Amino acid sequence: MDIHAFKIKTSITLNKYIIYILYGEMTELFTNFSELPPLFICLQGQYLMKNTNILQTSKIAIAGVLSLVFLNGCATTQNEANTAIVVQQQAQIETILQQQQQILTTLQSQPDKFSEQDKAIAKLTAQLDDLSTTTQVKKAAPIVIPVTPQASNDYTHKVILGQEEWVWFEALQTNFKSRVDTGATTSSLNATEIVKFERDGKDWVKFNLSHKDNSAVFPMEAAVVRTIKIRQTNAADALRRYVVSLPIELGDINTETEFTLADRSRMIFPILLGRTFLKDIAIVDVAQEYTQPKKQATANKKQPTSTKKGAN
């Protein structure tokens, strides 16, 4: 049992006994008063003063009882106030204890957090060390610069041609003047007396190639690569022309290119070089002429069919 509850219960029990005693004394006192005559009752105060022996004991008892009652009441009130204060203090203490417990729990969890942070820092440090080592190895490795081959259409590897050049035919051992024309798709040469024939099951043609400025004629034979149709503005029907492939030389250029066989006797140049010949090997500067050297014939030069002037 709580000490405060025990005190309160004891105080209540004591008060009951005091009230019982007080009630008994008062009852006896008034009983004695009722036995006196009426006149004496009116003067009972004086009687009481004269006969102190009768009520002396009663007065003392009453005074003591009243004192005990008042003192007990004060003690009870004081105990109740103290009890309220103690209860309030206990509540405050419990609150403080709870706060301290929370702080203690937080402090106890801090080492775990610090340990996790230490592990994370150690991991990052290891990663930085690995990265630093890798970087040093990469820096130490020799740098290999790949050599990219230059494109075939790079101007530095192309031959510069003027609008007029000498073209060398090795089979004929002679040069022919040619017009370099970037507006023409295919190349063509001055071919006359064209005759088609068959050789080994394939189509061939023979024709005469001649210069414009003389009557020298060079007979030639070549396999037919294909046949094309050309429609002229002043002709009703399309013209069929043979395309042959012939080896030629122009300066440092030594290649085989296709020519369309056409009668160019009215043209200034017996040879026309078009874009199919120029592609990937040459560029044209129309402000220049004969930029490439003219090749000289050897001793075993093939003689033309008829000559009025030198072919070269």
Using one digit for the tens of pLDDT, what is the confidence trace for 196-255? 999 999 999 999 998 766 667 899 999 999 998 887 767 667 788 999 999 999 988 899
Could you tell me which residue, 242 or 38, shows the higher pLDDT? 242
Question: What is the pLDDT at residue 222?
Answer: 94
User: For helices 52-140 and 3-34, what crossing angle results, to 10°?
Assistant: 170
Q: Strand pairing partners for 166?
A: 177
DSSP assignments along 106-141, one per residue: HHHHHHHHHHHHHHHHHHHHHHHHHHHHHHHHHHHS
Asked whether the predicted pLDDT for residue 153 surpasses 80, the reply is no
Q: How do 174-180 and 187-199 pair as beta strands?
A: unpaired
The secondary structure of the chain in percent helix, strand, coil, rounded to multiples of 5, reads: 45, 25, 30
The CATH classification of domain 155-284, taken from the options 2.40.70.10, 3.40.50.300, 2.60.40.420, 3.90.120.10? 2.40.70.10
Measure CA 244 to chain center: 59
Could you tell me which residue, 50 or 170, shows the higher pLDDT? 170
Q: How far lies 4's CA from each of 16, 72, 89, 260, 305, in Å?
A: 19, 14, 15, 134, 153
- Could you give the dihedral angle defined by the CA atoms of residues 116, 121, 122 and 125, in that order, rounded to the nearest 10 degrees? 160
Query: How do residues 243-288 score in pLDDT, each as one tens digit?
Result: 999 999 998 889 999 999 998 888 889 999 999 898 888 889 889 9
- Taking the C-alpha atoms of residue 247 and residue 295, their distance in angstroms, rounded to an integer, is 15
Do 309 and 216 touch, CB atoms closer than 8 A?
yes
Per-domain boundaries in the chain? 3-105, 155-284
The pair of three-digit structure tokens given for residue 154, joined into one six-digit string: 């790079």
Share of the chain above pLDDT 90, in %: 23
